[in-house]
Amino acid sequence: MAEEVGVDEASESTPMKKEDLLAHLNAFPKDRLVEEVVSMWEELGELERELAMARQRARALDGELTRVRSKSGGRLDLAELEERFRVAEARRGQLETMLANEQGRRKDLEEVVGQGRVDELRRENAALIRREEEHMLLILDMESKIDQLMEIISNSEQNNR
């Protein structure tokens, strides 16, 4: 029995030529490739959120650094803020590189699997996210109703004593 190699392993090694990648991916069942595309899509979404948060933190630190610089004192604070800003910038650079790599991997997978299927999966994902949000709102509403019922029961028990 042939050993199955994951698509992840190929993407983590050195970049493959397009022809080699196509040959490699053709060896996998389409269901497996679809799972990989969905997985990569979710990872890219997470990376994009992390990048957005890192950019927001960098802007906040830059604003804080500017505010501190405008004050006359605080040399120690200024050095600490500059270091935090450098760390945030380095992390942002890492996330941007990771995002670019992920986008490249997705593009390669989309070429193999087909844009139509990827669009269909995106629509399904969006529908699932909407359903999840609806369910969360329903759960929150039910929790508030339970809290209200518990309060009514507690008040009723106290009044009956």
161 residues of the chain, pLDDT tens digit each: 333 444 444 445 567 788 887 888 788 888 888 888 888 888 888 989 999 998 998 888 888 877 766 765 555 567 777 888 899 999 999 999 999 998 888 888 777 777 777 788 889 999 999 999 999 999 999 999 999 999 999 898 888 87
pLDDT of residue 86: 92
Q: Which of 89, 49, 94, 92 is nearest to 65 (CA)?
A: 89
Between CA 106 and CA 11 the distance in angstroms is 10
Task: Please check whether residue 7 is in contact with residue 36, taking contact to mean a CB–CB distance below 8 angstroms.
Answer: yes
3-state secondary structure 29-89: CHHHHHHHHHHHHHHHHHHHHHHHHHHHHHHHHHHHHHHHHHCCCCHHHHHHHHHHHHHHH
- Residue 139: per-residue pLDDT: 95
User: Considering the domain 14-113 in this protein, what is its CATH number?
Assistant: 1.10.287
Domain layout of the chain by residue ranges: 14-113
